[in-house]
Structure 1
Amino acid sequence: MASTTTSKQIVVASKNPVKIAATLKGFQRMFPNITCTTLGISVPSGVPEQPFTDAETLQGALNRAQNAREQAPEGDYWVGLEGGVEDTPDQTAGTLQSFAWIVVIDHEGGRIGKARTATFYQPEEVAKLVRGGMELGHADDAVFGRSNSKQSNGSVGLLTGDVIGREAYYVQAVILALIPFKNGTLSF
């Protein structure tokens, strides 16, 4: 039997090259026999520029995926990636958590996959700026003397000395969000 290669278009609800590359790598690792192309588009999240709770961040990722589907209905998958922060209730140093939600919607079955990245804590210098209304990427740039770090190594890369960069940080969560599509006969 001859092998056929399937091609799928993935619409990423962002023009950020890090998010687009992470999405493509996640799909390629989860579905190595499918040829994937990506299209990055800018769509609103429907949440504040800097989501400040877990629920708000998940809602932003879901909104982005749904808005991408409306704007580019020719896609096979729509992916929303939304980074967020949340203060923990304790009063110790390092109380501002950082994380991201990934939401994937498919064209054929109407399935939705969701996953959250690992969580890490921000230094107080960054946390104060974010609590004061600054978006995390801008706060990172101010504290670390960088420019547009969110389109390169991001907060996670700055804090780990690039042991984990922003792209790698997202790839694993993209893969986890694809579990319902890899296991199509199961209900999620």
Structure 2
Amino acid sequence: MRVGVGSRNPVKISAVEAVFDGLETTPERISIESVAIDSGVAEQPFGEAETIKGAENRARRSVSEYDIGIGLEGGVAEVPGSDGLYLIMWAAVTDGEMVGRGAGPRLQLPDSVARRIRDGEELGPVMDDLLGESDVAKKQGAAGALTGGIIDRQEALEHAVAGALAPFVTEFY
């Protein structure tokens, strides 16, 4: 089975590989390939709908040459019933017909970070600035920094991918 992941981000690719490595049954050899795909949404998706759309666009645009296309998108959103702005993650999986969707954890952003995002900055560069590092999004991610390493971006994305893959690996859907 050939799996196309609509991203060149190594953390996203590693998350997909980890999920497939964890499958209890694998019907055949799996080849996972990274594909440069435009999400079709803003560089900093805002809200659940835009973040989901980015993940779905990446999955649909990568499936044309593969058996399964996977898209992952990180965004920020306000969560009803809660104050502040949250980091969110969504994944979509498609075989060209069926689409599965799954979400990762939601992590409240510190007020200083949320203000900068609301002022138009992207989370990745804001976290780089805050941590004095570069390419945080390709390493621990905001998830790792905000949880003191309890989880990192890869682990958070793995949950989203596993949820999106569920309709393809069980008969419950």
TM-score, normalised to structure 2, is 0.92
Query: Equivalences for 1:137-176 in 2 at 5 Å?
Result: 137-176=124-163
Alpha-carbon distance in structure 2 between the residues aligned to 1:89 and 1:26: 30
The equivalent residue for 2:45 is 51
- Structure-2 change in CA distance of 1:168 and 1:88 (3 Å): closer
Alpha-carbon distance in structure 1 between the residues aligned to 2:48 and 2:23: 26
* Greater radius of gyration (CA): 1
Structure 1 residue ranges (4+ consecutive) displaced by more than 3 angstroms after TM superposition: 88-92
TM-superposition CA deviations, 1:102-157 (whole Å, max 9, x none): 000125xx221100111110011211111111111111111121110000000000
TM-score, normalised to structure 1, is 0.85
Structure 1: runs of 5+ lacking an equivalent: 1-7
C-alpha deviation, 1:85, in angstroms: 0.5
Identity of aligned residues (%): 36
For residue 74 of structure 1, what is the amino acid of its counterpart? E
The equivalent residue for 1:16 is 9
- Structure-2 change in CA distance of 1:89 and 1:180 (3 Å): closer
For residue 51 of structure 1, what is the amino acid of its counterpart? P
Structure 1 position 86 matched with structure 2 position 80: no
For residue 85 of structure 2, what is the amino acid of its counterpart? L
Alpha-carbon distance in structure 1 between the residues aligned to 2:61 and 2:7: 11
Query: Equivalences for 1:1-188 in 2 at 5 Å?
Result: 8-33=1-26, 34-69=28-63, 73-88=64-79, 92=83, 95-106=84-95, 110-184=97-171, 186=172, 188=173
Alpha-carbon distance in structure 2 between the residues aligned to 1:118 and 1:55: 16
For residue 15 of structure 1, what is the amino acid of its counterpart? R
C-alpha deviation, 1:32, in angstroms: 4.3
For residue 12 of structure 1, what is the amino acid of its counterpart? V
C-alpha deviation, 1:87, in angstroms: 2.5
